[in-house]
Amino acid sequence: MGTAAARLGERTSLGHARLDFPGVWLGGTHSRLGAEHSRSRRRVTWLCTTDCYAAYVSDRTDEAWESGGESPPADSEQLLRLERQLCFVLHATSRAFDTLYRPVLAELGLTYPQYLVMLAVWEHGERSVKELGRSLRLDSGTLSPLLKRLEKAGFVRRERSPDDERSVVVRPTEEGIALRERAGDIPRRILSATGLDEQQLGELHSALNSVTSALDRAAEEIDRQD
């Protein structure tokens, strides 16, 4: 697709979010992101849903797409191909990151989930368990064991909030603060391994945040319908 990710652009009057690739028009409405480009006089449209994306072949024009017309029928065999699933691509990327992080974080005595917790604590200095769970997208059943292990390792301390005894706050210990200095070069080491330059990384980050927000809205809409 040219660049690693789309540059976020303007919203049209139809509510399409425009993300521009060289030679590619990418737009979406609500929980769907679509893209079209010409290939051998055919147009291929990708629709990103809450689970995956699928390739559609059509002779429709950009104007027809923007007018809100229905997409052409998809070949079910194409829809179900593993390599065409956006969710799987993201899953595979996440696993690749985990594999790369594992030996790097082992030097600090951290697992990747523990590293994410420490990043959040380092950034804010003090966070309630509820705030940590929200920012990390972790439920209490997953977060509590992580915090317990980090506290046992001496990196964080959990205490009842003096303002609200129902709330538990997490703070880095002196050892946890010192660990931040040792971790300072990790982001550069990991990002350099992606092979992307600074602009591409910024574009990819923005595009993925946009997709995440769209999927969150789609999930909220499903919940309201239920």
Query: What tens digit of pLDDT does each residue of 104-141 get?
Result: 999 999 999 999 999 999 999 889 999 999 999 999 99
Measure the CA–CA gap between 152 and 173, rounded to whole angstroms.
11
Query: What tens digit of pLDDT does each residue of 34-90 get?
Result: 333 333 333 333 334 334 443 333 334 444 444 555 554 557 788 889 988 999 999
Position with higher pLDDT, 96 vs 69: 96
Measure the CA–CA gap between 17 and 10, rounded to whole angstroms.
6
pLDDT attached to residue 76? 76
Going along the chain from its start, the domains and CATH numbers come out as 7-82+198-225 (no CATH), 109-182 (1.10.10.10)
Query: What tens digit of pLDDT does each residue of 161-219 get?
Result: 888 878 899 999 999 999 999 999 999 999 999 999 999 999 999 999 999 999 999 99
In the block, residue with structure tokens 């985990």: 98
pLDDT attached to residue 30? 34
Position with higher pLDDT, 9 vs 79: 79
What are the backbone angles phi and psi of residue 140, rounded to the nearest 5°? -65, -30
Pull the structure tokens for residue 93.
């990327």
